[in-house]
């Protein structure tokens, strides 16, 4: 369809969540914005292939996800946010404890296999249905469901059970309350 | 209260995939959304607003046919 003003507005309205998705995937604010820019350029160049009335955010997310994956294959992840550039993208610095917890969460998220991470983000944060997430990732709905479940289990183990199967509830509770345990 | 507690510790049985503690799961969900929404709340950076506003999709000229690379070909001929 032609690029109407209404469509322009709709694309613009998708930018904040596209950025959040890109940052969640790449873990790097600068690179995420490059991804978003490339996504927008590609979307605008191919706007006539967008079906009016279909899900615009899902279409844009699909473009971004594919760009990220082809880019990822090329250069793998570079230094993992060594200078805290992700934290710098936040307008307000979280309080110290919250910040620590945030960094731990971010680090655990980075340890997930890419398939699981993107599925969890799409369903758990972007708010897409399993069906939309499956369309974005080009796989079956059941596959998305199992990826999301595995991602949750793994995060839970990384953050709260510390990877051990034989930790008692006391340790779990301590980890939840104490964070670093210090 | 007591019931809730014993229920929770049952669910917390480690190593059981189906028995993930509901509290931990809601905590993970909360952190995930907090991370995401921090970025969403930043809105649209100027560079993207401008890019979308300024960029016009080249309208295919009916005289030249509807392929986008027609212009490139013409340029080469000149």
Chain A residue with minimal CA distance to B9? A169
Please state the rounded mean pLDDT for residues A120-125.
97
What digits encode the pLDDT tens for the residues A13-69? 999 999 999 999 988 888 899 999 999 999 999 999 999 889 999 999 999 999 999
Packed helices A5-26 and A29-45: angle between N→C axes, nearest 10 degrees: 150
CB contact under 8 A, B53 and A161: no
Tell me the pTM: 0.70
> Which ipTM score applies to this complex?
0.75
Chain B residue with minimal CA distance to A172? B12
- Which H or E run includes A103? helix A96-111
Size of interface A-B (CB pairs under 8 A): 118
Per CB-CB distance under 8 Å, the chain A contacts of B31 are 101-102, 105
On whether the CB atoms of residues A121 and A106 are closer than 8 A, the answer is no
pLDDT, mean of each 10-residue run, chain B (78 residues): 44 46 88 94 93 68 48 41
Per CB-CB distance under 8 Å, the chain B contacts of A172 are 12, 14, 21, 24
Cα separation of B19 and B41, whole Å?
Answer: 34
Considering CB atoms only, which of A8, A24, A44 is closest to B36?
Answer: A24
pLDDT for position B34: 93
- Which H or E run includes A90? none
What digits encode the pLDDT tens for the residues A127-182? 999 999 999 999 999 999 999 999 999 999 998 875 444 444 455 555 555 554 44
What's the length of chain A? 182
pLDDT for position B7: 45
B interface mutation test: which of A30, A155, A176, A177 has the most B CBs within 10 A?
A155
């Amino acid at each position: 369809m032609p690029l109407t003003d209404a469509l322009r507005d709709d694309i613009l309205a998708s930018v904040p969540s596209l950025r959040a998705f890109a940052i969640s995937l790449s873990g790097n604010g600068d690179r995420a914005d490059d991804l978003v820019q490339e996504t927008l350029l590609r979307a605008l160049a191919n706007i006539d292939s967008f079906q009016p009335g279909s899900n615009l955010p899902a279409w844009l997310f699909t473009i971004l996800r594919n760009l990220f994956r082809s880019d990822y294959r090329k250069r793998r992840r570079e230094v993992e946010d060594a200078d805290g550039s992700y934290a710098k993208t936040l307008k307000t610095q979280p309080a110290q404890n919250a910040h620590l917890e945030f960094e731990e969460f971010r680090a655990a998220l980075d340890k997930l296999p890419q398939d699981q991470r993107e599925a969890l983000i799409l369903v758990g944060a972007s708010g897409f249905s399993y069906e939309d997430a499956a369309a974005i990732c080009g796989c079956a709905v059941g596959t998305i469901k199992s990826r999301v479940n595995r991602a949750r289990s793994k995060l839970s183990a990384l953050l709260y059970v510390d990877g051990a199967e034989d930790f008692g509830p006391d340790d779990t509770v301590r980890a939840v309350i104490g964070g670093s345990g210090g | 209260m007591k019931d809730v507690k014993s229920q929770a510790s049952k669910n917390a049985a480690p190593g059981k995939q189906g028995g993930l503690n509901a509290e931990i799961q809601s905590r993970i969900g909360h952190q995930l959304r907090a991370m995401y929404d921090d970025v969403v709340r930043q809105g649209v950076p100027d560079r993207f607003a401008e890019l979308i506003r300024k960029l016009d999709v080249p309208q295919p000229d009916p005289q030249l046919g509807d392929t986008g690379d027609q212009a490139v070909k013409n340029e080469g001929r000149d």
